[in-house]
Structure 1
Amino acid sequence: MGVLAGAEPFALPGTSGAGFLLCHGFTATPAGLRGWGEHLSAAGFAVRCPLLPGHGTRWQDLNRTTWQDWYGAVREELLALRAECDQVFVGGLSMGGTLALALAQEFDWISGLVLVNPSVTRLSMDAKVLPLLARVIPSIPAIGNDIAKPGEIELAYPRTPVRAAASLAKLWRVVRTRLDQVSQPVLLLHSRVDHVVEPENARIVLAGVAGTDVTEVVLEKSFHVATQDYDAELIFNRSVEFARRLRAGQVGAG
C-alpha cells in the first residue's frame, strides 16, 4: 500500500541559514505538523519533517518496525539539515518530542528543542502489559484525533499497533534514563487537558533535563494534538520567538 494522501514527508526552504527538524507522533503523520512547518519556513527557517517508518500507510505496517527505525529516520534527516544549515533546532509532538529528546542526548550541537506534549511514560496499566499483549493481539483502539477544535481531523491510524507500542515503551525508558544529558535550551508546551499523554510526562521532562534555559507553557485550550488545535498559533509563534532569541544570542556571542 502506498502513502496516504497528505501523509507525505515535507521539506520547506528557509532564508536565515537556520533549520528546524520536526518529528511527528506515534501512529500519526507529517500532516499534523504541516501548519507548524509552513509558519517556520515563512519566518526564515529551513524545515524538514520526515514520515517515520511504518507510518502513513496502514497500521499493520507499524507493527513491523521498532523505535530504532523511527529514531534512525529522524537522525538521518537531522544530519542532512545540519549539512545545509549553520544552526539546527528540533521540534516534536508527542512521540516526536521523545525522539527530539533522544537526538539532543546524542548531538549536543542541536541549538534548542521545542516539545509539544512529549511522552516519556504512561502510568496506566495497559503500558505495563503491552509486551504480553503484543503476543496475543495485534492492535487496540486508536489514540489519534484528540483535538478540541471542531472540524479538525488528525491523519492517523484507526488502530494502535500493539507490538509497535511496546517498542515505544522501550524508547521511553531509554530517553528517561538519559534526560540529564539534555543540556540544550528547551521550550516545553503541554496541554492542560490531554487524553493521550498524562501530565506526569511534562513534569518528568522538566525535572530531568540538565539545561537551565527551560521554558514551560501551558496550553489552556487544546487537547493532545495541539498543533492542529486552538493553541496552534501560540505554538508556532513561541517556536519562532524561542529560536530567534537563541539565534541572536549565538550571533552576539560570535
Structure 2
Amino acid sequence: MAESYPVLEGAEPFYFEGNSVGILVSHGFTGSTQSIRPLGEAYAAEGYTVCGPRLKGHGTHHEDMEQTTYHDWLASIEEGFQWLKERCDKIFVTGLSMGGTLTLYMAEKYQEIRGIVLINAAIEIPAMEPVLQLEGTRFLDAIGSDIKKPGVTELAYEKTPVQSIKEILPFMKTVKENLSKVICPALIFVSDEDHVVPPDNSRTIYNLISSETKEIYHMKESYHVATLDNDQQMIIDKTLEFIKKQL
C-alpha cells in the first residue's frame, strides 16, 4: 500500500557513498532517521559508506504506520542492506531500539555481516503485552523522545498505533528465539535508565548470542534515545573503534 502522507522534514532516508566498508543504521519503532543521522554523518566523515533507511510507515504519519507490518520494516532494512552490498565488501549493522531488533534479525539471517552495534535493542517489552487484548482502540500515547538531555526532541509520532504494537511483539519474540544464530562480533550499548525498553533486554541478548567477541557498555547519562542524548559521542567513538578492530 502506498504511503499517503509526505515524509516529514528530517525523516528522510540518508545515503553517503564512501569506501568499501558499509554501515547500515536503523532507527526505531515510531521514530525516524533523525534519531540516527548524527551517527550516520559521523561514520561517513570517517570515509565509510553509510545507509540510513526510513522504515516503511515511519517518518510520515501514525496512520501510515498503522497500515504496515513488521515484514514491511524488514523489507526497508533489506533494501538498505542490498544498496550497501552493491558498493561494499564488508558490512556492519547498527540499530537503536527496534532498529536493534532489526539488526539482530539481519545478523541471524546474514552470517557474512562483519559486526553489529546495538543501542537499547528490544527483544521483549512486557508493558506492551496487554495491548494484545485491546479491541477497538486504534492509538495509544507516544513513546518517543525518552531523552535525558534538556532541550533535545526526537522526531517521532505523537501517537502509537495499537496495530503496530501487535506487529512488533511477535517480531521481537521470533528474534529472541533465534539469538543463538548471531555469530558476528557485537557491541552492545544499554542505558541504565530507559523508560521504553527494559535494560535487562541487553543482558539477555549478550547472554544468548553465540558471538565470541561481544562487549556491553552501560550508559549512565542517557535514556532510551541514547543516539540523541548525552552519550552520543561515546557511542560514535566506541563504534568506530569497534569497526576498526573487525577490519
Q: TM-score range by the shorter chain?
A: over 0.9
The CA distance in 1 between the partners of 2:85 and 2:33, in whole Å, is 20
Does the aligned pair in 2 maintain the 1:116–1:189 contact within 8 Å? yes
Query: Displacement of 1:220 after TM fit?
Result: 1.1
The AA in structure 2 aligned to 1:33 is I
Query: Displacement of 1:72 after TM fit?
Result: 1.1
Question: Deviation string for 1:177-199 (max 9, x for gaps)?
Answer: 00000001000001011111102
The CA distance in 2 between the partners of 1:235 and 1:123, in whole Å, is 27
2:131 maps to 130
Indicate whether 1:85 and 2:52 are aligned: no
1:158 maps to 158
1:61 maps to 64
2:6 maps to 2
The CA distance in 1 between the partners of 2:235 and 2:199, in whole Å, is 18
Q: Secondary structure at the match of 2:86?
A: helix
2:97 maps to 94
Q: Secondary structure at the match of 2:99?
A: helix
Q: Secondary structure at the match of 2:50?
A: strand
Q: Of residues 27, 31, 52 in structure 1, which corresponds to 2:30?
A: 27
Query: Displacement of 1:151 after TM fit?
Result: 1.2
The CA distance in 1 between the partners of 2:178 and 2:237, in whole Å, is 29
Q: Secondary structure at the match of 1:115?
A: strand
The CA distance in 2 between the partners of 1:75 and 1:103, in whole Å, is 8
Indicate whether 1:176 and 2:176 are aligned: yes
Q: Identity, % of aligned pairs?
A: 37
The CA distance in 1 between the partners of 2:131 and 2:163, in whole Å, is 8
Does the aligned pair in 2 maintain the 1:130–1:163 contact within 8 Å? no
The AA in structure 2 aligned to 1:205 is I
Query: Displacement of 1:129 after TM fit?
Result: 2.2
The CA distance in 2 between the partners of 1:177 and 1:49, in whole Å, is 26
The CA distance in 2 between the partners of 1:119 and 1:223, in whole Å, is 14
How many pairs are equivalent?
Answer: 243
The CA distance in 2 between the partners of 1:14 and 1:239, in whole Å, is 17
Gap runs ≥5 in structure 2: none
The CA distance in 1 between the partners of 2:58 and 2:79, in whole Å, is 17
Indicate whether 1:142 and 2:126 are aligned: no
Query: Displacement of 1:238 after TM fit?
Result: 0.6
Q: Of residues 41, 51, 55 in structure 1, which corresponds to 2:54?
A: 51
The AA in structure 1 aligned to 2:28 is G
Gap runs ≥5 in structure 1: 248-254
The AA in structure 1 aligned to 2:133 is L
The AA in structure 2 aligned to 1:158 is E
The CA distance in 1 between the partners of 2:163 and 2:132, in whole Å, is 7
The CA distance in 2 between the partners of 1:136 and 1:243, in whole Å, is 47
The CA distance in 2 between the partners of 1:131 and 1:109, in whole Å, is 36
Query: Displacement of 1:122 after TM fit?
Result: 1.0
Indicate whether 1:42 and 2:77 are aligned: no
TM-score (norm. length: structure 1): 0.94
Indicate whether 1:246 and 2:242 are aligned: no
Segments ≥4 residues shifted beyond 6 Å: none
Query: Displacement of 1:123 after TM fit?
Result: 2.1
Does the aligned pair in 2 maintain the 1:12–1:41 contact within 8 Å? yes
2:206 maps to 206
The CA distance in 2 between the partners of 1:14 and 1:80, in whole Å, is 13
Question: Deviation string for 1:164-209 (max 9, x for gaps)?
Answer: 1110001101100000000010000010111111022112101110
The CA distance in 2 between the partners of 1:78 and 1:58, in whole Å, is 25
The AA in structure 2 aligned to 1:121 is E
Does the aligned pair in 2 maintain the 1:13–1:47 contact within 8 Å? yes
The CA distance in 1 between the partners of 2:234 and 2:25, in whole Å, is 17
Question: Deviation string for 1:21-58 (max 9, x for gaps)?
Answer: 00100000001111000100011111001111111111
2:222 maps to 222
